[in-house]
C-alpha cells in the first residue's frame, strides 16, 4: 500500500515538473477553443503511438509529452488496419476564456471495442470508458460510437490521452463539439439513419406484399436478403445493436457481428441465383456459386473457434470475391440480352463502389470522410431500389415467357389434335390391312391377337386359303412405329395380295415381295415369316426372313420345337437369300407365330426382360386350353409383366391348332 502511494506521489511530482517547465511541451499542437465553435475536426491536432507490446499505461503515456515515440498526425483521420496493438492518441485543449467550458469528444466509428479517455484532474488520473464492448448504460454519453464529456477550466490547458484496443480496424474520426453542437450532429446522424432504415423497412413490407400477391419465390429470397443485409447487418455495422437492442450484452453484440455478416453474404446467393435464373442461364457459373455457398456454410461450425479479426478478414475477402464474380455473371447475362441483369448489374456496381471504398477505408487505404463512412449504406439503399426494379422486370419477363409458352402450347395442342386425327386415319388404314376375321378351314383352328404399342403399330399378319386343305400364313414386323410403319405395312399387304396367287411356295413369295418393296422402302426394312400348311399331306413349309423362330408345340408329347430357316431381312438386300424348311405335322399340334414384342417386355420394378424362357413356359402352361383361351392367356402373361406400363413394342401372337 505504501509503495503504491509513493508511486502515485512520484508520478504527481513528475507531472508537476512537466507543468512547471511548459517549454517541454510547447511544440505540441494545442486546440484553441472558443465559444463560437460548435464543432471541430481534431485529427490534425492529434499525436499517435502504436504500442506493439501493449504495456504502455496512461500515466506513462502522459509523461511522454512531447517526444518519445509519439508522431504528429498529418494524414487526416487516423486509420490503421486491424491489429493487436494498442493505439494511443493525445491532444491538448486550451480554454482562453474566463469561464469553464463543457465539450464532448466524439469518435464516429462504432466498431471500436475499447475506447478509453484518460486525463489528469485534481492530482489523479481519471479514466472514462466507451466502445462497443462497454455497456452503454454505464457511459456518461450514450452514443453509437464513442463520446466523452470534457471540462476545461478558465484560461487552462487540458491534456488528454485516448487509448484504443479493437479487433476491427482502428478508424478514429475524432471531433470536438460544444454540447449544443454534439447533439445537433447526433440529430443529423439519426435523421440520416432513420431515412435509411425507414426506407429499408418500407421496401421489406412492399416486397412481402408483392410475394403475397404474386407468390414468386424470388421475392422470398429477396426479403431474406433485404432483412439480413440491408437491416440486421447494418444495425450491427452502425452500432445500433450495441446501443439499443443489446445494451446489457455488449460482448454478445461483438460476438454476433461476424455471424450476421456471414448470414448476410449467404442470404445473397439464393436471391441472385433465382433472380438471374443462373441454373438455366449459366449452369457452370452457377456451380461455382454453389462451391462458394459450401465454403461459407463450412465456416458456421468453425465460427466459435476462429478469432474475430481473422473471421472478419475472411468475410471481407469473400464479400469482395462474390461482388466481383457476380458482376462478371451479370455482364455475361447482359450479353445474352437478359434484361433483369441490367438492373442487377447497376445495383451491384453501386454496392461494389460503396463496399470496396468502405473496406479500403477500414484497412487504411482511403481517408475517412462522409462518403467513405456512409458509402456502403448509400449504395445499398440505391441497390435495394434497383433490385426491386430487377424483380419487377423479371416478373415481366416471366409473363412474356408465359404468354409465349401458352401460345406455343396452343399451337402444340392444335398440332397434337391434327396428329391425333392423322393417327386415327392411319389406325383405320392399318386396321383395314389386317384380317377382319380368322379364316375357317376344315381340320384347322386359328386365333390371332394383336396389341399395338401406340395408335398405330408396325406388326402385320395375313392369311390366304389356297384350297380346301392348304393355307398360307404371313407374319411380319416393320421397323419403327406409327404412321410410317402403318404405310409400310399397307404396302406389304398390297404386295402379298398380288403375289399370293402367283407364288405357291413361302420362299418364292418372300423373294418376290422383297423385289417389290426394295425400291419403295425409305430406310426401313421388315422381318417376316411365311408358312404353308398342307392338311392333306400333313406337312408345313417354313420360310423366314430374319423373323423370330416358329414354335411347334406337340401337345400329345408336350414337346416344344423351334424352326428358323436361314434368311435375310426384307427390303435390306436386293438379292435376298431365303432357305425353306419342310416339317411334318400331326393331330393336336399347335403352331405359334409371334413378333419379338412378346419377349422384350421390361418389368419396371426390376428392369428384367420377359424373355423367351417365360414365353415358352407360358405356352406349355396352356397345353390343355382351347386355342382362344390359350392365346388370350399367353398374351396377358406378357402384358402383365409390364406392371401397368405401356409396352415398348407391338405384340402379335398367332396360334394354329391342328385337329
Contacts 24+ apart (CB under 8 A), 416-420: 420/455
Give the three cell numbers for residue 407. 401460345
Please tell me the least confidently modeled range out of 243-257, 302-316, 328-342: 328-342
**What is the pLDDT at residue 326?**
84
Q: Per-residue pLDDT for 573 more than 80?
A: no
pLDDT at 11: 44
Mean pLDDT of 433-451: 87
Least confident of 37-46, 213-222, 353-362, 447-456: 353-362
pLDDT band at 426 (very low <50, low <70, confident <90, very high): low
For residues 347-376, give the mean pLDDT.
Answer: 71
Q: What is the DSSP letter of 150?
A: E
Torsion, Cα of 346, 351, 353, 357 (10° steps): 180
> Tens digits of per-residue pLDDT, 114-159?
999 998 777 677 899 999 999 999 999 999 999 999 988 898 888 8
The pLDDT of residue 582 is 93
Q: May I ask the CATH architecture of the domain 434-658?
A: 4-Layer Sandwich (3.60)
Is the Cα dihedral 632, 633, 637, 642 positive or negative?
A: positive
Is pLDDT of 22 > 80? no
- Nearest alpha carbon to residue 80 among 169, 161, 173: 169
**Rounded CA separation 79/362 (Å):** 7
Q: Tell me what pLDDT residue 76 has.
A: 76
For residue 471, list its beta bridge partners. Answer: 465, 533
pLDDT of residue 533 exceeding 90, the answer is yes
For 393-406, write each residue's pLDDT tens digit: 766 766 776 777 77
Q: What is the residue-averaged pLDDT of the chain?
A: 83
pLDDT tier at 13, thresholds 50, 70, 90: very low
Least confident of 25-34, 163-172, 372-381: 25-34
The closest alpha carbon to 324, from 295, 356, 297, 298, belongs to 356
Among 50-64, 120-134, 612-626, whose mean pLDDT is lowest?
50-64
Residues in a beta bridge with 603:
608
Choose among 659, 640, 639: nearest CA to 649: 639
What CATH class has 26-184? mainly beta
Phi and psi based region of residue 460 (left: phi greater than 0; alpha: psi -120 to 50; beta: remaining): beta
**In terms of pTM, does the model score above 0.75?**
no
pLDDT in tens, 461-513: 999 898 889 999 999 888 766 667 777 777 888 888 878 777 668 988 888 88
pLDDT at site 430: 66
Going 406 to 409 to 414 to 415, the CA torsion angle's sign is: positive
Distance CA 245, CA 252 (A): 11
Please state the rounded mean pLDDT for residues 335-342. Answer: 81
Beta strands in 396-512 (DSSP E): 444-451, 459-467, 470-478
Determine contact, residues 482/454, Cβ cutoff 8 Å. Answer: yes
How far from each other are the two terminal CA atoms of the chain, in whole angstroms? 131
Q: What pLDDT does 398 receive? A: 65
pLDDT at 53 > cutoff 60: yes
Amino acid at each position: 500500500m505504501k509503495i503504491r502511494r509513493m508511486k502515485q506521489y512520484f508520478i504527481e511530482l513528475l507531472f508537476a515538473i512537466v507543468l512547471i517547465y511548459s517549454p517541454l511541451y510547447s511544440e505540441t499542437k494545442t486546440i484553441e477553443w472558443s465559444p463560437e465553435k460548435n464543432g471541430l475536426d481534431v485529427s490534425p491536432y492529434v499525436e499517435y503511438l502504436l504500442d506493439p507490446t501493449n504495456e504502455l499505461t496512461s500515466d506513462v503515456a502522459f509523461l511522454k509529452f512531447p517526444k518519445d515515440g509519439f508522431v504528429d498526425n498529418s494524414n487526416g483521420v487516423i486509420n490503421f488496419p486491424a491489429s493487436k496493438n494498442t493505439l494511443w492518441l493525445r491532444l491538448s485543449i486550451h480554454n482562453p476564456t474566463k469561464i469553464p467550458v463543457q465539450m464532448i469528444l466524439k469518435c464516429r466509428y462504432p466498431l471500436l471495442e475499447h475506447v478509453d479517455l484518460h486525463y489528469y484532474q485534481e492530482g489523479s488520473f481519471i479514466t472514462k470508458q466507451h466502445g462497443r464492448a462497454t455497456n452503454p448504460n454505464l457511459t456518461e454519453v450514450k452514443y453509437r460510437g464513442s463520446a466523452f464529456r470534457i471540462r476545461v477550466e478558465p484560461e487552462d490547458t487540458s491534456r488528454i490521452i485516448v487509448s484504443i484496443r479493437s479487433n476491427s480496424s482502428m478508424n478514429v474520426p475524432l471531433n470536438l463539439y460544444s454540447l449544443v453542437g454534439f447533439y445537433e450532429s447526433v440529430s443529423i446522424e439519426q435523421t440520416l439513419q432513420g431515412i435509411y432504415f425507414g426506407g429499408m423497412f418500407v421496401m421489406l413490407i412492399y416486397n412481402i406484399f408483392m410475394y403475397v400477391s404474386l407468390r414468386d419465390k424470388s421475392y422470398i429470397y429477396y426479403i431474406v436478403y433485404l432483412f439480413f443485409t440491408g437491416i440486421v447487418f447494418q444495425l450491427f455495422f452502425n452500432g445500433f445493436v450495441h446501443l439499443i437492442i443489446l445494451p446489457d450484452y455488449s460482448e454478445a453484440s461483438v460476438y454476433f457481428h461476424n455471424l450476421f455478416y456471414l448470414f448476410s453474404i449467404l442470404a445473397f446467393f439464393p436471391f441472385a441465383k433465382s433472380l438471374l435464373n443462373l441454373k438455366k442461364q449459366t449452369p457452370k457459373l452457377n456451380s461455382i456459386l454453389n462451391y462458394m455457398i459450401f465454403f461459407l456454410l463450412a465456416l458456421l461450425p468453425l465460427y466459435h473457434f476462429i478469432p474475430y479479426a481473422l473471421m472478419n478478414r475472411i468475410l471481407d475477402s469473400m464479400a469482395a470475391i462474390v461482388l466481383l464474380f457476380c458482376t462478371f455473371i451479370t455482364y455475361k447475362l447482359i450479353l445474352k440480352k437478359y434484361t433483369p441483369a441490367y438492373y442487377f448489374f447497376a445495383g451491384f456496381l453501386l454496392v461494389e463502389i460503396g463496399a470496396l471504398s468502405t473496406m479500403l477505408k477500414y484497412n487504411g487505404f482511403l481517408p475517412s470522410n462522409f462518403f467513405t463512412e456512409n458509402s456502403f449504406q448509400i449504395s445499398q439503399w440505391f441497390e435495394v431500389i434497383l433490385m426491386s426494379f430487377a424483380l419487377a422486370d423479371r416478373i415481366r419477363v416471366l409473363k412474356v415467357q408465359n404468354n409465349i409458352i401458352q401460345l406455343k402450347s396452343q399451337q402444340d395442342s392444335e398440332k397434337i389434335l391434327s396428329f391425333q386425327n392423322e393417327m386415327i386415319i392411319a389406325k383405320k388404314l392399318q386396321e383395314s390391312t389386317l384380317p377382319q376375321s380368322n379364316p375357317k378351314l376344315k381340320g384347322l383352328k386359328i386365333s390371332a391377337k394383336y396389341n399395338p404399342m401406340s395408335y398405330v403399330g408396325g406388326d402385320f399378319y395375313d392369311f390366304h386359303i389356297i384350297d380346301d386343305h392348304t393355307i398360307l400364313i404371313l407374319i411380319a414386323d416393320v421397323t419403327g412405329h406409327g404412321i410410317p410403319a402403318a404405310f409400310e405395312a399397307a404396302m406389304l399387304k398390297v404386295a402379298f395380295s398380288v403375289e399370293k396367287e402367283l407364288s405357291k411356295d413361302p420362299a418364292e413369295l418372300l423373294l418376290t415381295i422383297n423385289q417389290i418393296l426394295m425400291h419403295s422402302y425409305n430406310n426401313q426394312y421388315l422381318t417376316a415369316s411365311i408358312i404353308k400348311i398342307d392338311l392333306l399331306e400333313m406337312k408345313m413349309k417354313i420360310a423366314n426372313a430374319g423373323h423370330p423362330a416358329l414354335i411347334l408345340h406337340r401337345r400329345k408329347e408336350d414337346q416344344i420345337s423351334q424352326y428358323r430357316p436361314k434368311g435375310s431381312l426384307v427390303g435390306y438386300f436386293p438379292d435376298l437369300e431365303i432357305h425353306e424348311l419342310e416339317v411334318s405335322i400331326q393331330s393336336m399340334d399347335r403352331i405359334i407365330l409371334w413378333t419379338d414384342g412378346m419377349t422384350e417386355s421390361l418389368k419396371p420394378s426390376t428392369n428384367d426382360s420377359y424373355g423367351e424362357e417365360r414365353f415358352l413356359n407360358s405356352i406349355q402352361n396352356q397345353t390343355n386350353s382351347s386355342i382362344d383361351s390359350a392365346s388370350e392367356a399367353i398374351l396377358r402373361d406378357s402384358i402383365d409383366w409390364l406392371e401397368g406400363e405401356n409396352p415398348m413394342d407391338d405384340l402379335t401372337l398367332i396360334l394354329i391348332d391342328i385337329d
